[in-house]
């Protein structure tokens, strides 16, 4: 009996993946644990291993633009010659060009005039036809025009030559280049759009005096070989704030609230292909130096595509810091199934009122985006307030870092 190799679920939110590269070919003999393919997900590129020994007899035909659903058969080991992968799961690839000759299409076309015949159809999307005349299709092909960007003014929205002239900025522009996004970028686009539409976000912003934290960081970095960043301090402060507010350490999954015992903090890391959020686990129990070293290692592995699923799945909150780019304030999109994300801006020097006197101080703005299904406004506000208080009185960070000496 054939041994099935399935598209693995590499994260709780993964619904499909893309086969980036096959490491074997039909006829190769493999052993259990051999890497046979590279899979691109919404978060990373991972390796797929053979589940048993035998000969690769079938490999699914797909291109880098095809997304394959989780648990679909992608290869067979020791399969019979007359077997087909499609027989196992009726696998349907999400191809760019769908079949235009289905009965439903024919039924829809029957209500159109001759000008909407097959030769005028460019493609079908969500049961809607994009119509264009043969001349328009010829011009668009010659000038590399994306007809999806053109609004047709002809019958039934048909694109005619006049529409191309009115939208001439869409083509014949040497300054424009059409870039095909990577598979990861497509998945990120799909996930963030769905998240923004389905998750009820609300936002709270607070301004924090950072002078004491700056002083603490300077003392630490002068006296220690391990240099800590503001982000290290922020991650530790966030973990301690959640410890004070355990009702915020939750996720919303399948209409249920899951409450976590461990405090795991995700950090947003920008990669060339997109964004990934490695996890600092048990951050409340770890010392500041350990957190600093762990974050450096996670960022290094993320940039080398070496993160394991266990290193970027989980957590109830993410820290996204754009302060190094001079961004003073922003709102971030929640990373489901997490319930919140704190967007951290840059530290600014500005006039402040301190003890009823005008002073010059350093301030930073933080904005929490929270999922209203699992967190109410007052609960998220208290978390943000405690986060603020810890940063303004960083002695709490030092007190809860058992790997730091007296400074």
Q: What residues are annotated to the active site?
A: 372
Residue with tokens 């394991």: 308
Tell me the C-alpha to C-alpha distance, in Å, between residue 272 and each of 184, 302, 364.
10, 11, 27
What tokens does 338 get? Answer: 């997490």
Nearest-CA neighbor of 289 among 208, 407, 387? 407
Query: In the Cβ-directed half-sphere of 113, how many Cα atoms lie within 13 Å?
Result: 7
Nearest-CA neighbor of 391 among 234, 244, 267? 234
Phi and psi at residue 355, to the nearest 5°: 55, 50
What tokens does 354 get? Answer: 């301190």
CA–centroid distance for 179 within its chain: 19
**DSSP strand pairing (340-354 vs 317-321):** parallel
Compute how many other C-beta atoms are within 10 angstroms of the C-beta atom of residue 96: 10
**Residue 131 contacts residue 160 (beta carbons within 8 Å):** no
Tell me the C-alpha to C-alpha distance, in Å, between residue 355 and each of 81, 160, 210, 352, 358.
83, 70, 16, 10, 8
Measured distance CA(291)–CA(300) in Å, rounded: 14
What are the start-end ranges of the E strands in 254-399? 256-259, 265-267, 269-270, 275-276, 279-280, 317-321, 340-354, 357-371
Measured distance CA(264)–CA(238) in Å, rounded: 10
The CA-to-CA distance between both ends of the chain, in Å, stands at: 67
**Residue 360 contacts residue 351 (beta carbons within 8 Å):** yes
């Amino acid at each position: 009996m054939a041994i099935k190799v399935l598209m693995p679920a590499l994260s709780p939110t993964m619904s499909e993946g893309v086969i980036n590269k096959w490491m074997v070919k039909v006829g190769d003999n493999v052993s259990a644990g051999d890497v046979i393919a590279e899979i691109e997900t919404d978060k990373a590129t991972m390796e797929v291993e053979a589940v048993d020994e035998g000969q690769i007899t079938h490999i699914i035909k797909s291109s880098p633009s095809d997304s394959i659903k989780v648990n679909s058969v992608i290869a067979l080991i020791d399969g019979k010659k007359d077997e087909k992968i499609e027989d196992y799961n009726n696998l349907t690839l999400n191809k760019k060009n769908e079949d235009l000759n289905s009965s439903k299409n024919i039924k829809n076309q029957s209500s159109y005039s001759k000008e909407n015949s097959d030769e005028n159809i460019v493609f079908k999307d969500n049961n809607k036809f994009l119509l264009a005349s043969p001349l328009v299709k010829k011009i668009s092909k010659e000038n590399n025009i994306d007809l999806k960007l053109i609004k047709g003014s002809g019958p039934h929205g048909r694109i005619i030559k006049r529409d191309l002239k009115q939208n001439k900025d869409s083509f014949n522009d040497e300054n424009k280049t059409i870039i095909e996004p990577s598979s990861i970028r497509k998945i990120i686009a799909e996930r963030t759009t769905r998240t923004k539409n389905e998750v009820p976000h609300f936002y709270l912003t607070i301004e924090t005096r950072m002078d004491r934290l700056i002083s603490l960081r300077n003392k630490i970095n002068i006296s220690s070989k391990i240099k800590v960043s503001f982000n290290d301090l922020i991650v530790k402060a966030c973990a301690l704030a959640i410890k004070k507010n355990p009702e915020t350490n939750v996720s919303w999954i399948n209409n249920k609230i899951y409450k976590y015992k461990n405090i795991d903090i995700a950090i947003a890391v920008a990669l060339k292909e997109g964004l990934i959020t490695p996890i600092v686990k048990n951050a409340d129990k770890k010392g500041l130096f350990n957190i600093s070293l762990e974050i450096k290692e996670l960022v290094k592995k993320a940039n080398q595509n070496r993160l394991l699923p266990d290193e970027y799945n989980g957590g109830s909150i993410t820290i996204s810091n754009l302060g190094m780019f001079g961004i003073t304030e922003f709102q971030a999109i929640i990373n489901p199934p997490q319930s919140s994300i704190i967007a951290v801006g840059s530290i600014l020097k500005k006039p402040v009122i301190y003890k009823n006197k005008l002073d010059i101080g350093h301030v930073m703005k933080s904005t929490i985006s929270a999922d209203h299904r699992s967190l109410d406004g007052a609960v998220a506000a208290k978390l943000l307030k405690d986060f603020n208080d810890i940063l303004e009185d960083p002695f709490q960070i030092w007190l809860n870092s058992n790997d730091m000496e007296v400074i």
